[in-house]
Amino acid sequence: MEVYTVTVATGESEYSGTNNYIFVTLVGEKGESERTLLDNPGMDFCRGAVDEYKVTSPRPLGSLLLVRLEKQRYWVEDNWFCRYVTVEPPGGDKVVFPCYRWLTGDIKVDLRAGTAKTQRDDALAQLLAHRRTELQDRQKIYRWVTWAPGIPRCIDAKTEADLPQDARFENEKRSDFEHSLHYALLELSLKKFAILFGKSWSDLDDFKRIFWKLKSPIAEYCMEHWKEDWFFGYQCLNGSNPRMIQRCKKLPENFPVTSDMVQSSMAPGTNLDQELKEGTVFLLDYAILDGVPTNTIKGKPQYIAAPLCLLYQHPDDGLMPIAIQLGQTPGLDTPIFLPKDPPLAWLLAKIWVRHAEFQVFQVLSHLLRTHLVVEVFCVATLRQLPAVHPIYKLLAPHLRYTLEINTRGRSQLISADGIFKRVVSTGGEGLLILAQREYKVLTYRSLQPYNDFTAHTAHTDSPCMNSHVSTREELSTLLAVVVFTSTVQHAATNNGQFDWCAWVPNTPCTMRQPPPTDKNAATMEMVMASLPDVSQSCLQMAITWHLGRAQPDAIPLGHYTEEHFTEAPAVALINGFRAELEKIEAHILSQNERLELQYLFLLPSRIENSITI
């Protein structure tokens, strides 16, 4: 009689344990063990428990191929989350069988050992059949659907309740997510303001009435400095959407800025033409917003502009805006605003640029280029790669919670009656058209990080990426892009949104009046009538806090609560990666020590391992 030592690890989150019957069968090259009920004195399979059992076989099983877990109902149905199973054969080494999935209902699950294997590494028919069966089962529950034409396909789920249990938030995450927005509106005294739809604030200082408790050091800094030109330029590089800025060697034909117009903004002894050649002139071009349908909120039209903004890297003052045109077609009704214009006219022009920034940042850089792009790889991975595949093991930690947060986004944020429709100028039809425009010209190369300020936002007709990956180098780059997008890129766009948007005039979600056509007609009344009203301001502040705050169950980049890789070489690589991240963290902290306004969004400890919010 052969005796095998089996340990079973239950999940650590709330409700992971079970009172149901759990059976195990060990499958080896030479046969199977007895189907064994796992039952020790006392309670088994409690939350966080690692239970040990003895499983017998009348003969040696040879090399272990599979561990078969079987859950059967006892009294009431009780789901169970299994982390892993280990098996120690007589006189042999312990073998780890990762699970990391929910067992719901009466179900059998066959687990492979943790060693990563591609299909060509499997010769046994039984293991090849296991790969096929696993994918066939997954393809039944993870299905593609076209949520809207012209944007990436997504998971077939109308609400989060339609998702498989393995794709759902854990209970603690779900509770926190659903209560945090309620907290923002009620506990922070926003509710009494949020009902005041259509009522404008009296003056800019009025925005402080919703700013007293929901704030951060950067948000407070915004409140103090948002009107200053250097801070406008600072946000172009250090805000949530630095991809918009591009070096300008030649002015666009539809932006007729002359050297005389901006000479007062230049350093002594130089001019616009010279600085264009030197590469110290930069451009923000929001042409993608041109003609996008505007939202109507409770019967009141909202407005969008497609501005052009010229910036100059002043040797003493830093990156400064020097000319703004609030439309793509120059003319008498589309004047070029300059820093020497009346202060309110120049301020209002900058507000319009920041409003355009909100639309592009939230809809394109954040929603489309991180959430929706990563979801494509998430669904494809679940449908095409078995859990034993090395690429599945590599990507799985970076796809955690992505399906649920995206499904909630489609049903609660960007739906026909979602939050965007209630508060954002591109809400409704405009949001979809904007996303379609970007996706049509989205390139695989544009998802890769850049090291300079070339015209990287210029659109081309090249496809998003080739249909096939032919070399190991191409595969490595592709996987790096997926991991980068789901971690670093998402952190860069998401984590600072409250900091930059909490002071509403700095980055308004909507504008309630059309862009100004007369530089001399700007008044404070016009500014206040254009900015979001009281209700919209409250929702902008609450939503950006809700989505941008640090998550209580966040798993930082390089940390893995689920150990899909079990081989020593892979574990060594992971440990080396963590050590490198620690060095990067120390370097970033050192760089920020003497800065008045620190940039800490990309500290590895603040980058989540996946898109969870």
Helix (H, G, I), strand (E, B) or coil at 311: strand
According to the model, what pLDDT value does residue 457 have?
A: 39
Phi, psi of 10 (to 5 degrees): -95, 150
For residue 535, give both structure tokens: 């209700």
Residue 322 marked ligand-binding: no
Query: Is residue 239 situated within a structural domain?
Result: no
- Say how far apart CA 93 and CA 80 lie, in whole Å: 27
Phi, psi of 24 (to 5 degrees): -135, 145
The alpha carbon dihedral of 459, 356, 245, 522 has a sign of positive
> 38 with 51: CB under 8 angstroms?
yes
Query: Is residue 52 situated within a structural domain?
Result: yes
According to the model, what pLDDT value does residue 567 have?
A: 94
The alpha carbon dihedral of 567, 573, 578, 582 has a sign of positive
Query: Is residue 21 situated within a structural domain?
Result: yes
Of the CA atoms within 13 Å of residue 291, those in its CB half-sphere come to 6
Name, in order, each residue with C-beta under 8 angstroms of 182's C-beta and a sequence gap of 6 or more: none
Query: Is residue 368 situated within a structural domain?
Result: no
Query: Could you read off the pLDDT of 74-125 as tens digits, one per residue?
Result: 888 889 999 999 999 998 899 999 999 999 999 999 999 999 999 999 999 9
Instruction: Give the total number of structural domains in the chain.
Output: 1
Low-confidence stretches of the chain (pLDDT beneath 70): 185-198, 212-213, 450-467
Residue 409 marked ligand-binding: no
Most distant CA pair in the chain: distance in Å? 95
Residues in the chain: 613
Question: What domain range is 46 assigned to?
Answer: 2-113
Query: Is residue 483 situated within a structural domain?
Result: no
Helix (H, G, I), strand (E, B) or coil at 424: coil
> 324 with 350: CB under 8 angstroms?
yes
- Say how far apart CA 539 and CA 310 lie, in whole Å: 31
- Say how far apart CA 419 and CA 373 lie, in whole Å: 21
- Say how far apart CA 254 and CA 287 lie, in whole Å: 11
The CATH number of whichever domain residue 21 belongs to comes to: 2.60.60.20
Query: Is residue 61 situated within a structural domain?
Result: yes
Radius of gyration, CA atoms only, the chain: 28
> 423 with 509: CB under 8 angstroms?
yes
Long-range CB contacts (within 8 A, 24+) of 465-469: none
Q: pTM, whole model, 2 decimals?
A: 0.94
Residue 233 marked ligand-binding: no
Query: Is residue 603 situated within a structural domain?
Result: no
Query: Is residue 17 situated within a structural domain?
Result: yes
**Cα end-to-end distance, the chain, whole Å:** 52
Residues in a beta bridge with 281: 312
Q: Provide DSSP, 179-206.
A: HHHHHHHHTTT-HHHHT-TTPPPSSGGG
- Say how far apart CA 508 and CA 359 lie, in whole Å: 9
Residue 39 marked ligand-binding: yes
- Say how far apart CA 353 and CA 228 lie, in whole Å: 14
According to the model, what pLDDT value does residue 190 have?
A: 60
Burial class of residue 384, CB neighbours in 10 A (0-12, 13-18, 19+): middle
The alpha carbon dihedral of 465, 467, 471, 475 has a sign of positive
Assign residue 15 a region (left: φ > 0; alpha: ψ between -120 and 50; beta: otherwise). Answer: left
